[in-house]
Structure 1
Amino acid sequence: MQTLETRFEEGISRYKEGESAEALLPTFKDICAQAPKNSAAQTCLAWLYLLADKPNAGYKAAQRAVKLAPKDPQARINLAIALLETGKSGVREQIDMVSQVLFAVDELKSEVQENFEEGLRRKPNWKSLKRVQKWLFDS
């Protein structure tokens, strides 16, 4: 029997190898169901939902991730994208929070940049992702 941590790491590896968001969603949904307080898993789940064009589910997972890890920039980026894609308000607040964290912690900048690039490789016409990226890095 695999631990949740092992399954999480395997899911991340499968993602990095190019497995589709749709194929990975059941794994991450299951991990989040068994470990609802795991912010990293919730953040991944939100990202996968957004990649799979399921913004409402992505919004819910992103909300949980931000609640569990309010200082995680990727959780807030996912929430900002989900807010844009569902037409909800509150995007600016998320962008401001992420900007503050990225300004304070330089190492996170390259990680966040890589996530944007990865998202655009998988979904080249992702308008919401491009808007959030522009707000964070073209200011």
Structure 2
Amino acid sequence: MTINEIQAEIVDEFSEVDDWMDRYGMIIDLGNSLPPIEEKYRTPDHLIEGCQSRVWLNAELSPEGRIRYTADSDAIIVKGIISLLVKVLDDQTPDDILNADLHFINDIGLSEHLSPTRSNGLLAMLKQMRLYALAFKAKQ
């Protein structure tokens, strides 16, 4: 699936729920379904700077030239947010990730319902995911 197709699915899922407490519940459920990151990646090297909570992110380039992300967080909402980003950007090419317009963040109202510190954390997570894509692109 393309990034835009995945975003459209997410927007559809969230559009069925009006109440923001229920949407937070959906985000928490997404976080709970995120596969755990391997213990060897729970290191300071894999922590995302700029997040108030601890967020670990790892990225590997598959033989097919696609980036595989794994992530985790010690905060339940933040884990849900990183799981949304992983859902959209995982198994995509570095070019697709770097060129993606991640409009779903605004489309589902996420940006306007996050505290300033969580918004900064979201931007830091996205920045780190794009930095991995940039690094892998440079190696290709």
Under TM normalisation by the shorter chain, which class is it? 0.3 to 0.5
Counting helix residues as a fraction of each chain, which structure ranks higher?
1
The structure showing larger relative contact order (alpha-carbon pairs under 8 Å, at least 6 residues apart) is 2
Counting strand residues as a fraction of each chain, which structure ranks higher?
2
Q: TM-score, normalised by structure 2?
A: 0.36
